[in-house]
Amino acid sequence: MKLLAIGVSHHTAPIEVREQLAVPPGLVPELLHRIKEERFGREALLLSTCNRVELYTVMSEGRSAEELVGFLAANSGLKDRHLRAHIFRYQAEDALRHVFRVASSLDSMVVGEPQITGQLRDAYRLATDERSAGPVLHRVIDRALSVAKRVRTETGIGREAVSVGRAGVELARQVLGELEGRSALLIGAGAHGKLVARSMLGYGLSELVVTNRTFDRASELAAQLGASAAPMEDMARIMERVDVVIACTAAGRALIRRAELAPVMRRRRLRSLVMIDLSVPRNIDPDVNQLDGVYRFDVDDLRQVADVGVEKRRAAAVDAERIVTEESARAWRQIQAEGYVSRIGGVARRAEQIRLAELERAGLSGLDPKQLRDVDAMTRAMVKKILHPAMVRARALAEAGDHATLDALLAHLGEEGEPR
């Protein structure tokens, strides 16, 4: 069983690479189907967030991780060699441990943030709906979510996290000073955008306006936040008077460009405007930073702010890493053992086929029904007693993780042919 975790994250690739590799939500099902149809993997799950694009697969026989890298590069339009410089590859137990670390937010930009667990759960639900997640990924993700719950329960990692929302507040305060009496525009309904907006409201923000491609969705979110809603067409007019713009949509393109923002800044008389772009691909063109008075930040800037609190989280993270290491080692043994259960059962099924074939060959038509039942029961018991010690041994080897000895034993028992 070839479990593979492959992709990019904020640890391995800048935002320019991540946004090219990002897969819009509506195209994820198509990508999952292509992976199976083109026989890159028997199972597949894609996790695409602002900080990572990761593919978890059970590789098909004869396929390699490097072939899958080429597939991802072609799908994104990136040059193969450019992607290879940034992509990570984990296989077998290392892949399982990586999934556990992601689920437990140990691999997150803000260690301890809870959003990643929900994002992984959503990705798993989609893969299940599309029938691209099979028995192996079911076990992997189910155990990963359990480990994440244990980490959050048994360590202080969640309490010590410097949230994305707080990081956004700190970026705004670097430019504007205190937020009391300030105003902001939230574009989109993304989870991180809502976190930053809530945090700013907690620091004294006096007005928040929410806009979204769907006005009803903007109104719904505004009601939750105690804000007002506005249609997307009013975005430029609102930017003329607010102090902060927070963009977090799944548009997959720039919604605000330098040419469009320049007249807005002139009407603002160059009054400072903080722009926090939480989207990948980015919603605010980086070129706007060339305009006087504009201070644009993205998710990688939030990471730098969050890293300031790393010392406070270090002790909790050490405990969390220990839990993940223990759980991944235990889970890998169990997953491997479960994979061998079918092979062990195959030996018993093969033996039963041979027993039935020999009974038919023996020509027992002269026996009455009771005698036939007795012969059937006797031969069934004989086969069971002959195989029992070897089957017990095989299960013990599977549980112990001694796969080399187990492979030899199954071969000796005739996994692919008659017992020798």
HSE (side-chain half, CA atoms, 13 Å) at 273: 29
Q: Which runs of consecutive H residues, i.e. helices, occur in 226-366? A: 235-239, 258-267, 299-307, 310-361
Helix 135-154 vs helix 92-103: crossing angle, to nearest 10: 50
Place of tokens 């001694």: 402
How far apart are the C-alpha atoms of 105 and 336, rounded to whole Å? 25
Q: How many residues does the chain have?
A: 420
Please name which of 91, 49, 50, 51 lies closest in space to residue 69, comparing C-alpha atoms.
Answer: 91
Q: How far apart, in whole angstroms, are the C-alpha atoms of residue 272 and residue 152?
A: 40
Q: What beta strand segments (E) does 133-256 contain? A: 183-187, 207-212, 228-231, 244-247
* Cβ proximity of 55 and 45 under 8 Å: yes
CA-based nearest residue to 281, from 77, 101, 30: 77
Burial 285-314 (b: 16+ CB within 10 A, else e): beebeebeebbbbbbbbbbebbeebeeebe
> Hey, what amino acid is at 137?
L
d(CA 210, CA 189): 8
Name the DSSP letter for residue 287.
Answer: G
Please report where in the chains the tokens 């007795």 appear, as a residue: 374
Full DSSP string of 292-303: TTEEEEEHHHHH
- Residue type for position 367: L
d(CA 342, CA 356): 21
Which segments within 155-219 are labelled E, that is strand? 183-187, 207-212
CA atoms in the 13 A half-sphere facing the CB of 376: 11
Looking at the annotation, which residues are catalytic? 50
